[in-house]
Protein backbone atom coordinates (compact mmCIF):
# COMPACT_ATOMS: atom_id res chain seq x y z
CA UNK A 1 0.00 0.00 0.00
CA UNK A 2 1.35 3.40 -0.97
CA UNK A 3 -0.54 6.40 0.37
CA UNK A 4 -3.73 4.41 0.60
CA UNK A 5 -3.51 3.09 -2.95
CA UNK A 6 -2.98 -0.60 -3.62
CA UNK A 7 -0.33 -1.16 -6.28
CA UNK A 8 -0.51 -4.22 -8.44
CA UNK A 9 2.66 -6.10 -9.15
CA UNK A 10 1.53 -7.09 -12.63
CA UNK A 11 -0.90 -6.14 -15.35
CA UNK A 12 -3.95 -7.94 -13.99
CA UNK A 13 -6.16 -4.86 -14.10
CA UNK A 14 -5.40 -4.05 -17.72
CA UNK A 15 -4.45 -7.42 -19.20
CA UNK A 16 -7.64 -7.63 -21.25
CA UNK A 17 -6.69 -4.39 -23.01
CA UNK A 18 -3.26 -5.59 -24.12
CA UNK A 19 -2.25 -7.66 -27.11
CA UNK A 20 0.44 -10.33 -26.74
CA UNK A 21 3.21 -7.90 -27.71
CA UNK A 22 2.24 -5.47 -24.95
CA UNK A 23 1.88 -8.25 -22.38
CA UNK A 24 5.47 -9.25 -23.16
CA UNK A 25 6.56 -5.60 -23.07
CA UNK A 26 5.01 -5.17 -19.62
CA UNK A 27 6.95 -8.20 -18.38
CA UNK A 28 10.18 -6.94 -19.93
CA UNK A 29 9.65 -3.49 -18.43
CA UNK A 30 9.15 -4.94 -14.97
CA UNK A 31 12.48 -6.76 -15.25
CA UNK A 32 14.16 -3.62 -16.63
CA UNK A 33 12.88 -1.53 -13.72
CA UNK A 34 14.04 -4.04 -11.14
CA UNK A 35 17.46 -4.54 -12.70
CA UNK A 36 18.36 -1.04 -13.91
CA UNK A 37 16.40 1.61 -12.06
CA UNK A 38 16.38 0.27 -8.50
CA UNK A 39 19.72 1.99 -7.84
CA UNK A 40 18.34 5.45 -8.50
CA UNK A 41 17.87 7.14 -5.15
CA UNK A 42 16.20 10.36 -4.12
CA UNK A 43 18.51 13.31 -4.64
CA UNK A 44 18.90 16.41 -2.51
CA UNK A 45 20.44 19.01 -4.81
CA UNK A 46 19.68 20.36 -8.24
CA UNK A 47 23.14 19.32 -9.41
CA UNK A 48 22.56 15.75 -8.25
CA UNK A 49 19.13 15.71 -9.92
CA UNK A 50 20.63 16.86 -13.21
CA UNK A 51 23.34 14.20 -12.98
CA UNK A 52 20.79 11.49 -12.20
CA UNK A 53 18.48 12.68 -15.01
CA UNK A 54 21.33 12.32 -17.52
CA UNK A 55 22.10 8.86 -16.14
CA UNK A 56 18.43 7.81 -16.38
CA UNK A 57 18.30 9.21 -19.93
CA UNK A 58 21.18 6.95 -20.98
CA UNK A 59 19.96 3.88 -19.09
CA UNK A 60 16.49 4.09 -20.66
CA UNK A 61 17.91 4.92 -24.09
CA UNK A 62 20.30 1.97 -23.99
CA UNK A 63 17.36 -0.28 -23.07
CA UNK A 64 15.23 1.00 -25.97
CA UNK A 65 12.49 2.52 -23.80
CA UNK A 66 12.13 5.49 -26.15
CA UNK A 67 11.35 3.29 -29.16
CA UNK A 68 7.63 3.64 -28.42
CA UNK A 69 7.97 7.36 -29.16
CA UNK A 70 9.36 6.70 -32.62
CA UNK A 71 6.64 4.20 -33.48
CA UNK A 72 3.84 6.23 -31.86
CA UNK A 73 3.07 3.23 -29.64
CA UNK A 74 1.13 5.12 -26.99
CA UNK A 75 0.12 1.98 -25.13
CA UNK A 76 3.77 0.89 -24.95
CA UNK A 77 4.77 4.35 -23.78
CA UNK A 78 2.13 4.24 -21.03
CA UNK A 79 3.40 0.84 -19.90
CA UNK A 80 6.96 2.18 -19.81
CA UNK A 81 5.96 5.23 -17.79
CA UNK A 82 4.02 3.10 -15.32
CA UNK A 83 7.03 0.90 -14.59
CA UNK A 84 9.58 3.72 -14.56
CA UNK A 85 7.46 5.86 -12.23
CA UNK A 86 7.26 3.02 -9.72
CA UNK A 87 10.99 3.32 -9.18
CA UNK A 88 11.89 6.93 -9.86
CA UNK A 89 9.74 10.04 -10.33
CA UNK A 90 12.77 11.76 -11.85
CA UNK A 91 13.28 9.00 -14.44
CA UNK A 92 9.56 9.19 -15.21
CA UNK A 93 9.91 12.94 -15.82
CA UNK A 94 12.83 12.25 -18.18
CA UNK A 95 10.75 9.69 -20.10
CA UNK A 96 7.79 12.08 -20.26
CA UNK A 97 9.98 14.91 -21.55
CA UNK A 98 11.48 12.65 -24.21
CA UNK A 99 7.94 11.90 -25.38
CA UNK A 100 6.87 15.55 -25.22
CA UNK A 101 9.88 16.57 -27.29
CA UNK A 102 10.05 13.59 -29.63
CA UNK A 103 6.38 13.08 -30.48
CA UNK A 104 5.98 16.40 -32.34
CA UNK A 105 9.00 15.47 -34.47
CA UNK A 106 7.49 12.08 -35.26
CA UNK A 107 4.08 13.51 -36.08
CA UNK A 108 4.90 16.81 -37.77
CA UNK A 109 8.65 17.28 -38.09
CA UNK A 110 10.31 17.74 -41.43
CA UNK A 111 12.56 15.03 -42.80
CA UNK A 112 15.53 17.27 -42.01
CA UNK A 113 14.40 17.77 -38.39
CA UNK A 114 13.85 14.06 -37.90
CA UNK A 115 17.24 13.28 -39.42
CA UNK A 116 18.94 15.77 -37.12
CA UNK A 117 17.25 14.94 -33.84
CA UNK A 118 15.12 11.80 -33.72
CA UNK A 119 17.80 9.10 -33.57
CA UNK A 120 19.55 10.91 -30.71
CA UNK A 121 16.29 11.35 -28.82
CA UNK A 122 15.29 7.70 -29.21
CA UNK A 123 18.76 6.48 -28.24
CA UNK A 124 18.90 8.69 -25.14
CA UNK A 125 21.84 10.75 -26.41
CA UNK A 126 19.74 13.94 -26.69
CA UNK A 127 17.48 15.15 -23.89
CA UNK A 128 14.45 17.08 -25.03
CA UNK A 129 12.68 19.90 -23.23
CA UNK A 130 9.17 21.19 -23.08
CA UNK A 131 8.19 24.77 -22.31
CA UNK A 132 4.82 26.38 -22.01
CA UNK A 133 3.92 29.90 -21.12
CA UNK A 134 0.74 31.26 -19.63
CA UNK A 135 -1.81 33.87 -20.65
CA UNK A 136 -0.62 37.39 -19.92
CA UNK A 137 2.99 36.18 -19.72
CA UNK A 138 4.00 35.41 -23.28
CA UNK A 139 2.26 33.16 -25.76
CA UNK A 140 -1.11 31.83 -24.78
CA UNK A 141 -1.12 28.09 -25.54
CA UNK A 142 -4.91 28.02 -25.29
CA UNK A 143 -5.37 30.69 -27.97
The per-residue pLDDT for 122 is 97
The per-residue pLDDT for 64 is 96
The per-residue pLDDT for 9 is 56
Cα separation, 86 vs 76, in Å, equals: 16
The per-residue pLDDT for 76 is 95
Among 69, 76, 132, 131, smallest CA distance to 102 is for: 69
DSSP 137: S
Q: What DSSP letter does each residue of 70-85 carry, written as one string?
A: HTT-HHHHHHHHHHHH
Q: Which segments in the chain show pLDDT lower than 70? A: 1-13, 137-143
- How many CB atoms neighbour CB 127 within 10 A? 18
The per-residue pLDDT for 140 is 65
Cα separation, 22 vs 142, in Å, equals: 34
Q: What crossing angle do the helices spanning 74-87 and 20-32 adopt, rounded to 10°? A: 20
The per-residue pLDDT for 52 is 95
> For the whole model, what pTM was predicted?
0.82
The per-residue pLDDT for 117 is 97
Amino acid sequence: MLRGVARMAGIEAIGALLDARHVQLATDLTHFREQHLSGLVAVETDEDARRQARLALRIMGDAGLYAAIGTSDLRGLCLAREQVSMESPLADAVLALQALGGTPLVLAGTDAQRAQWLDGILAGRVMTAFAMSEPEAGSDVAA
